[in-house]
Amino acid sequence: ERKLMANTIDLHTHSTASDGLYSPTELLQHAHEADLRMLALTDHDSTDGLAEATEAAARLAIDLIPGIELNTDTDDGEMHVLGYFLEYERPAFQKTLKVLRDARARRGERIVELLNEQGVNIQWEHVREIAQGAVGRPHIAQALIDAGYVQSVPEAFDKYLRSDGPAYVARRKLSPLDAIRLILSANGLPVIAHPLTVPGLQKLQAWLPELVEAGLVGLETYYGPYTEEQVEQLHDLAEEYKLIPTGGSDFHGPGIHPTPLGGRFVPFEAVERLKSEASKRMGTNPPEFVLPPADKE
Ligand code: AMP
Ligand code: ZN
Ligand code: FE
Ligand code: FE
């Protein structure tokens, strides 16, 4: 019967403020066409799309939840942390995000240099034209397509950009615990994104006690392509740790991820619980966060 209910909520989406294809306004327009009532914009390392998204959402009577996605690294792989209901205008928070984005730009430039050394001639200036906000490997993939080296983004990752590929450069290291603390410093609610994709169930279970202790409030459970069985597994885990099971499509634009915008059912209860948790913190003094110095580059 769940399938007969219309999807009205999507809590994981990207715009041109990071590696999404739609501007915030276009994204909200598509959300409106999909009959969504609630949308969280969760760009990588950036809240720069939120002002425009909030304005467009108000015109379309959509409830816009200010969010972010922070890609973090552990010794055994990536973990992505979503943040919801951020007081994102806090200056210290914005300053830290800018440090992370500047590091992304330098890293992108180094990837282009590595490609150039291997005779693959794409220009950093071109990547900068494609990336209007936080630079990511998908933008370099697009430059590789434009220059005719590959046909698709997945092919670009496969041939050049994947983590054991010939043109890989690591991001500035941010730990999952620091991502949680950064989100808490803006009174936001930290949630582990697509836990079965990265870091995977085993590693998640090993990390959870520490993450919960640091202030984790949710676990992305109703995620794009996850099966009913996987959803149930994550739901049980969320219950065990008293975490809020959230969900969304991880929409980046048509044809980038398998799930369309609003393409995954997310129960309203998830939003209710997030809102109730957020309202307890709103306007209170958040814990301060200081970004540890970068590893030697
Ligand atoms: P970055 O943040 O620059 O490390 O790039 C990571 C982003 O690239 C992820 O958030 C995905 O959206 C995308 N991505 C990662 N691996 C692949 C892949 N194999 N094919 C297509 N997109 C990918
Ligand atoms: Zn992305
Ligand atoms: Fe992610
Ligand atoms: Fe995402």
Task: Tell me, using a 6 A CB cutoff, whether residue 138 lines ligand 1.
Answer: yes
Q: What are phi and psi of 63, to 5 degrees?
A: -85, 110
- Compute CA 88 distance to the chain's CA centroid, rounded to the nearest angstrom: 15
Residues 6+ apart with CB under 8 A from 205: 237
Give the mean pLDDT of the chain: 96
Give residue 264's identity as a one-letter amino acid code.
R
Say how many Å lie between the CA of residue 145 and the centre of ligand 2: 17
- What's the pTM value of the predicted model, to 2 decimals? 0.96
**Ligand 2 centroid to 1 CA: how many Å?**
32
Please report, for residues 25, 43, 180, 207, 273, the alpha-carbon distance to residue 69 in angstroms, rounded to integers and kept in the order given. Answer: 19, 6, 11, 18, 19
- Rounded to whole angstroms, the Cα distance separating 134 from 152 reads 21
Residue 91 CA to ligand 2 centre (angstroms): 24
Residue 13 corresponds to which amino acid? T
Helix (H) or strand (E) holding 194: none
pLDDT tens digits, 138-189: 999 999 999 999 999 999 999 999 999 999 999 999 999 999 999 999 999 9
Q: Give CA–CA dist 142/148, Å, rounded.
A: 10
- Indicate whether 3 pLDDT > 60: no
Q: What is the mean pLDDT of residues 262-277?
A: 97
Average pLDDT value for residue range 44-49: 98
Is a pLDDT exceeding 50 seen at residue 247? yes
Burial 105-130 (b: 16+ CB within 10 A, else e): eebbeebbebbeeeebebebebbbeb
* Cβ of residue 136 lying under 6 Å from some atom of ligand 1: yes
pLDDT at 106 over 80: yes
The pick from 19, 73, 100 for probing ligand 1's pocket by mutation, whose C-beta has the most ligand atoms within 8 angstroms, reads: 19
- The response to whether residue 157 sits with its C-beta less than 6 Å from ligand 1 reads yes
**Is 253's C-beta closer than 6 angstroms to any atom of ligand 1?**
no
Which one of the ligands is nearest to 195 CA?
Answer: 3
Dihedral sign computed on CA atoms, order 24, 289, 293, 175: negative
Burial class of residue 77 (count of CB atoms within 10 Å of its CB; 0-12, 13-18, 19+): exposed
Note the pLDDT tens digit of each residue in 182-206: 999 999 999 999 999 999 999 999 9
Q: Is 171 in the pocket of ligand 1 (CB under 6 A)?
A: yes
Neighbours of 41 (CB within 10 A): 31
> Is 293 a residue whose pLDDT tops 70?
yes
Q: Looking at the predicted structure, is the pLDDT value of residue 125 above 70?
A: yes
- Ligand 1 contact, 83 CB (< 6 A): no
| Residue list, CB under 5 A from ion ligand 3 | 80, 193
Helices marked H in the chain: 24-33, 50-59, 91-117, 124-130, 137-146, 153-156, 176-184, 201-214, 228-240, 268-281
Q: Whose CA is nearest to atom 18 of ligand 1?
A: 154
The side-by-side arrangement of strands in the sheet containing 189-192 is 9-13, 38-41, 63-74, 77-84, 189-192, 218-223, 244-248
Cβ atoms of 12 and 42 closer than 8 Å: yes
Q: Which ligand has its closest atom nearest to the C-alpha of 139?
A: 1
Under DSSP, the state recorded for 44 is: B
Q: Which ligand is nearest to the CA of 17?
A: 2
How far does residue 124's CA lie from ligand 4's centre (Å)?
Answer: 24
